[in-house]
Each structure stands twice: as structure tokens, then as C-alpha cells.
Amino acid sequence: MKKILYILIIILISNLDSYSQKFAYIDTDYILNKIPEFKQAQDKLDNLSSQWQKEIEDKYADVDAMYKSYQQEQVLLTEPMKNKREEAIMNKEIETKELQNKYFSPQGDLYMKRQELIKPIQDKIYDAVQQLANNNKYAIIFDSSSDLIMLYSNPNLDKSDKILEILGY
């Protein structure tokens, strides 16, 4: 009887291992920094952003110059001339704010360009993660570069280099 109970316990323990779930994690920041296309895309975005930012700053400088000029000449201007200059300053400022929104709003040109350049790379990484998960039967793969707080992580479970290998880097 004890022998049968002992054999049953061994069978149960060995079966528990087959029901366990496998976990892994990756670091997408690490992966992205190892991909040359990402660096090139990031450089393009940075150049566009600084170019557009300079354009916006120049326009605000024009508005500021218009306002200072208006303040200096205000005592010499008639009421209709004052109104016309104030309106021109306000229109220039509104135009500049609209341009700033066009470039930097959540649906602006910079966001669209980021989607165009970065999204395909992120999709490739996602596909590689899916492939890794399916091939190795991982239940969950975490991203350590996200807001997820990992108090401890076993380096053996880091599959970032495996993702780079799947992507061909």
C-alpha cells in the first residue's frame, strides 16, 4: 500500500511540472538600441523636431519683435493704426500656435512621422516576441523597459538577445 501511495505521489509531482507556466522578459529599449534602422529613424525624427522647433521659435521671435516695435511706436499711432497692428500681432501669434499644433500635437506631423518610421520596427519586434513565445511555449513575456516594476529578474530569463537573433541582428 505504501509503495502504491509513493508511486502515486511521484507521478503527481512529475505531472505538476508539465502544468507549470514558463515566463521570460525582454528589454525593448536594449533591443531598439541594437537595431541600426531604429537609430536612423530616431535621428531623422530628432532632426525634423529640431528643425520645426527652430521654425516655431523664429516665428515667436517675429511676434515678439512686432510687439516691441508696436510698444515703441504706440504713442505715435492713431487708434485705427493701433487696432490694425494689434490685430496683425495677434494673427501672427495665432498662426504660430497653429503651426506648433500642426507639428507637435498628439496627431501632428511629428507623431505621424514617428508612426511611419518607428511602428514597422516595433511590429517586427512584436512578431519576433510572438515567434519566441510560440516556439518555446512561454505563457507570458514581460517588457522590463516598460512601467512594470521588476524587483528581481533572473538574467537567464532575459530573452532580449534571442529576439535580436530572430530579427537577424
Q: Read off the pLDDT of residues 49-86 as tens digits, 9 standing for 90 and up.
A: 999 999 999 999 999 999 999 999 888 888 999 899 99
**Residue closest to 167 by CA, chosen among 34, 76, 48:** 34
What's the mean pLDDT in 157-168? 86
Report CA-CA distances (Å) from 66 to 69, 92, 93, 163: 5, 9, 10, 55
Counting every residue written for the chain, the total comes to 169
Whether residue 150 contacts residue 158, with contact meaning beta carbons closer than 8 Å, is answered with no
For a pLDDT cut of 90, what percent of the chain falls above it? 59
Confidence of residue 12 (pLDDT cuts 50, 70, 90): low
Whether residue 126 contacts residue 9, with contact meaning beta carbons closer than 8 Å, is answered with no
Say whether pLDDT at 115 is over 60.
yes
pLDDT per residue as tens digits for the range 136-161 = 888 888 888 877 677 777 778 888 88
- Host H or E run for residue 26: strand 22-26
DSSP 107-149: TSHHHHHHHHHHHHHHHHHHHHHHHHHHHHTEEEEEETTSS--
Report CA-CA distances (Å) from 78 to 63, 66, 70, 75: 21, 17, 12, 8
Confidence of residue 168 (pLDDT cuts 50, 70, 90): confident
In eight-state DSSP terms, residue 74 is G
At residue 123, the pLDDT reads: 93
- Host H or E run for residue 25: strand 22-26
Q: Residue 124, CB half-sphere, CA atoms under 13 Å: how many?
A: 16
Handedness of CA 113, 114, 117, 123 (dihedral sign): negative
- Greater confidence (65 vs 168) lies with 65
**Full-model pTM:** 0.70
At residue 103, the pLDDT reads: 95
- Host H or E run for residue 24: strand 22-26
At residue 139, the pLDDT reads: 85
CA dihedral 141→147→150→155, nearest 10 degrees, is: 50
